[in-house]
Structure 1
Amino acid sequence: MWRKLCGHFDYTDTHSFGKNLLYRLWVWWCLKAVGSMSFITLFFVLYFYLLTHHYFYVTVIPATVMDEWISFNGSWLYFYLSLWVYVSLPPALTKSKKELLQYGVYAAILSLIGIFFYIFFPTTIQQNSADWGGSADMIWLKSMDMGGNAFPSMHVASAFFSFIWLNYQLKQMRGGKILYALSFLWCCAIIYSTLAVKQHLFIDVIGGLILGGSVALVTLRYHTKTF
C-alpha cells in the first residue's frame, strides 16, 4: 500500500530530461514531502531554542565595509524566505528511497555542524530597527528570527549546499544550461538577501559558504563512489 501510494516502481534510465524529471518527482513523493517537512521542523526547533538559550559567551560579529556598502532592501525578503523551497529541491529529485535517506544523512551532517557552532560558539549581530523602514514583514521576521545564531549563516550554507547537489542532479538528468543558470541565480539571490535584509553580516556569509561548500563536496564525493 505504501509503495503504491508513493508511486514506487522500477527506475529506467532515459535520455529524456522531462521523463527523468517526472520520475524523480513522483517516486517516493510522499516520503520526500513528509521527510523534508519533518527535517526542517526539527531544525527550526533546535535553531529557535538556541536563539534564547546560551551556554557560552555570545560574541558580537563586527560589521565590515561590505556590510555598510549594502543598504537595507526589504524587497529581498521574498528571496530570503524562498530558501525553504530551494532546499527542498535536491531531496525531491532523488531517484530512490536509498538515495533519499542518504541525502537526509548528508543534510543532517551540515545542520549538526551549524548547531555545534551555535551551542559552543554563539554569535549575534547588532540590529537597528530604523533600517527596516517600518516594514510589517520585516518586523514580523525580526520578532521571530533575532540577530543570534549569526556565524556561520546556515541560510547561506544550506543554499550553497543545495546548489552543488542540484548541479550534480541536473547533470545526471541532462538538464540544459538554462536550468543551471536559473539554479545559480536563485542561490545567489538567496545569499545576497541575507545581507540585503540585514539578517546576516558579510563574515557570516563567508562562513556559510565555506561550511556549505565543504560539506557538499565531501558528501558528494562519497556519494558518487557508493551509488
Structure 2
Amino acid sequence: MAPLPRPHRPQTWTMDIGERIRRLFWLKAIGTTVFTWLFFIGYFHLLRNPAYPVAVMPLTALDHLIPFQPYALGAYLSLWFYVGIAPGLQLSFRELVVYGLWIGALCLTGLGLFYFWPTQIPPLAMDVSGYAGFAMLQGVDAAGNACPSMHVAVAIFTAIRLDHVLREARTPSYLRFANWIWFAAIAWSTLAVKQHVVLDALAGALLGMAFALPSLRWRPEGRSQVSTLVGADIIGHH
C-alpha cells in the first residue's frame, strides 16, 4: 500500500505563525469581539444587580505589602489584547470552535460563581481617581465580582493555550518566555492597581487552570499531532 502523504507544514516558525494568523482572520477578530461583549453584558449585570448579599474579601499579609502602583494599569488593560492572541492562532475552524467552547465554559462558570457568591474587595484607603485612567476604571469596573479574578482566570487560560501553540509552531524559546512574562504582568497588575486581592488572584488562577489543562487533552488534533500520527502510519505500512 502506498504511503500516505505527510500534511503540509511550513518550513519555518514564522511561516507557521503567519499561516495561523491569516486563516479565518475576520471570523476570529469578529468572533472574539462579540464573545467579549457578551461576557461583559453578563459581568456588568451581575456587578450592578447582585442576587445575594455581597461578601467582602479578606486581606492577607501580602495584600498589605503590595503598594498601589498606578503604572501597572497598562498591563491590567492589556488583557483585552492578550486574550485575542491564542484564538487568533488556532489553525482550523474546528480548533477555533472548540477553543471557544472551553473558554466559554470558563467564563460561564465564573459568572455562575458571581451569581451565587457575590464578592467585593474592601474599600480602598486612598482615593485613586486622580490618577490617569482610574476614574474611568472605577466607574466601569467597580469593586464587585472580585473572587475569583476573571482577569487572572482568562489570562492563565490564554497563557497555557498560547504556550501550546508556540511549542507546536516550533517558535524560539524567548517567545514562550515572553508569553509567561506577559501573563505574570497581568496577574500582578490586578493586585497592584487594587482591583483584586491575593485570594481573588489565586482563585482565578485555579479556575483558569481547571479549564485550560483539560482543554489541551480534549481538543481537535493539531498540526504536530497529525504529523506524528501520519508518520507512525507510514512506518507501520513499511
**Whole-angstrom CA distance in 2 between matches of 1:133 and 1:120:** 30
Q: Give the Cα separation in 2 of the matches to 1:180 and 1:88.
A: 16
Which amino acid is 2:102 matched to? Y
TM-score normalized by the length of structure 2 = 0.88
Measured against aligned partners, the alpha-carbon deviations of 1:162-200 in whole angstroms (never above 9, x if no partner) come to 000001000110011110110010000000000000000
Per the TM alignment, residue 132 of structure 1 is displaced from its structure 2 partner at its CA by 1.7
Task: Report what 2:52 is aligned to.
Answer: 56
- Contact 1:61 1:125 (8 Å CA) reproduced: yes
Q: Deviations over 1:33-86 (max 9, x none)?
A: 010000000001110111011111211101111111000011000000000111
- Aligned equivalent of 1:168: 164
Letter in 2 for 1:96: S
Shift of 1:133: 6.7
Structure 1: segments with no counterpart, 5+ residues: 1-10
- SS of the aligned residue for 2:218 comes to helix
Higher alpha-carbon Rg: 2
- For these two proteins, the number of residue pairs brought into alignment is 217
Fraction of identical pairs, as percent: 38
Shift of 1:12: 2.6
Which of 205, 209, 212 is matched with 1:213 structurally?
209
Query: In the TM superposition, what is the alpha-carbon distance from 1:115 to its structure 2 partner?
Result: 0.5
Q: Distance in 2 between matches of 1:108 and 1:157?
A: 12
Q: Secondary structure at the match of 1:150?
A: coil
Supply the distance in 2 between the matched residues of 1:172 and 1:60 (Cα, whole angstroms).
43
User: Which of 183, 186, 189 matches 1:187?
Assistant: 183
Deviation at 1:225, TM superposition (A): 6.6
TM-aligned CA deviation for residue 98 of structure 1: 1.0
**Residue in 2 aligned with 1:135?**
131
> What aligned pairs does 1:1-227 form with structure 2 within 5 A after superposition?
12-128=8-124, 130-132=126-128, 134-223=130-219
Please report the TM-score for the alignment, with normalisation by the length of structure 1: 0.92
TM-superposed deviation, 1:224: 6.1
Structure 1 consecutive aligned stretches of length 4 or more whose deviation exceeds 3 Å: 224-227
